[in-house]
Structure 1
C-alpha cells in the first residue's frame, strides 16, 4: 500500500480531515513537527478499524477479530511518516525516535510504515525489538512486508512466534516464498510438543506444515522444485 492509497482509504473516515491535511503539510515543510503531530493522530483522526474491503483484504464471514487489521490512526500516522522529506540516516533517526518513545499504537504505526519509507535495511532493529514483545499487534506488524530484511533464521523464529501467539499467518508477508524445510521442521517439533501435551497448533499452521513439512532444508538442493512440490501437496 502506498501513501496515496492510504489517503484514498482514509477519505470520509477521519474525524478531523482538515487537521490531518494540515499535519501532512506541516511535516512535509518541517520534519521536526512530526514529534508532536504523530502522537496526536489518534485523538484528532479517530481510532476506529478500517474495513477489510477498503484495504483490499477479504476477512470472510466467520473471521475472528484480527490483530492484523489497520485502524484510522494507523493509516493517519503512516501518512505523516510518508510525508517526511528525509532520507537515509536522518529519516532512520526520526523514525527510530518515534518508535522508541511512542505508545504501543504509535509503535505499530511505525512498523506499518517501514516498507513505505526510504530506509533500506536501517529499520531492522525496530523489527527485532517488536518481535521481542508479547504484544500481538506489534508482532503482527513486524512480520509484514518489511520483514524481507530479516535474515532467514530470524524470519523463521518470527513465524514460529506468530504460531505460539496464535496470530493469523495471513499477517506474514512472503510466507509462500520464504517457507522452507527448516521452518517445516520447527513447526513439526512444535506440533509434536503440543500433541504430547494434549494440544494442537492453530489450523493455519497445520495447513502450512502439511505443505512444507517435506521440503529440503535451507541451503539444500531442490529450491527450484519447491513450488511444484507445494502444488503437488496442495492438490
Structure 2
C-alpha cells in the first residue's frame, strides 16, 4: 500500500514548512529525536481537519510523516514508546501510520489489540483501519462489535465486506436483541450489515 502524499498535502496547508522540514531531517539522522518532535507536531503544525485526507488532521499527517522517516532499525522501539507514553492524538497517529511502516506483524498486532481494549473512540476507529489486516479474525470481530456499540461509523472499517462472516452476524444479532430489549436501536449501517450477512447466510444454506 502506497502512503498518501503526506508532505504534498501538508505543504499545501501550512503557512511554511520550515519546522516540518527540519524535523524530518532531524529524525532521519537522529531517530531518538522523534520523542520530542512527535508530540510537538500539533503545536508546531496545527490540528485542523484535512480535506484531502478525510477524518485526518494536520497533526495526524505530520506525525505519520515523521514516523515514515525513521530508519528501519529504530521503528519498533520508537513506535512502542511513542504509543505507550503519548496522549490520545499521538496514539491515534501511531495507529494510523502503521500500514506504511516496516514493523513486524506481532508488534503491529500488539498495538492494535491495546487500542481495541480502550474506550477511546479515536483509538478504536484507528485500530480498525488498514492496519487491522494484522488482527486475528476473532479480535477483529470483537473490534467491529465494539465499534458498533460505541456508535462509530462502519465505513471506516477496512475490508469490512471481505472479512465480515456468519460469526460476526451472530454477534451483531445478539447486540441488536439486547438493544431492542432495552428499547434502543442499533445504528443504521450496523443494521444494514447484519441484514446483508443474514441474507448471504440464507442464500448459502438454500
TM-score by length of 1: 0.82
Corresponding residue for residue 48 of structure 2:
48
Corresponding residue for residue 115 of structure 1:
99
| 1:83-122 per-position Cα deviation (integer Å, ceiling 9, x unaligned) | 00124xx421110000000111100000001111011312
**Cα 1:27–1:180 shift into 2, 3 Å:** same
Q: Work out the CA distance in 1 between the residues paired with 2:22 and 2:155.
A: 35
Question: Secondary structure of the residue that 1:123 maps to in structure 2?
Answer: helix
Corresponding residue for residue 14 of structure 1:
14
* The structure with more helix, counted as a fraction of residues: 2
Query: Is 1:149 the counterpart of 2:139 in the alignment?
Result: no
Aligned length: 204
Task: Tell me the C-alpha RMSD between the 2 structures.
Answer: 2.0
Alignment of 1:31-180 (within 5 A): 31-51=31-51, 54-55=52-53, 69-87=55-73, 90-121=74-105, 122-180=107-165
Shift of 1:14: 2.4
| 1:52-107 per-position Cα deviation (integer Å, ceiling 9, x unaligned) | xx12x5xxxxxxxxxxx1100000000000000124xx421110000000111100
Moved over 6 A (4+): none
Unaligned ranges ≥5, structure 2: none
TM-score by length of 2: 0.93
**Cα 1:169–1:151 shift into 2, 3 Å:** same
Unaligned ranges ≥5, structure 1: 58-68, 217-221, 223-228, 230-235
Corresponding residue for residue 180 of structure 2:
195
Shift of 1:130: 0.8
Q: Work out the CA distance in 1 between the residues paired with 2:4 and 2:158.
A: 21
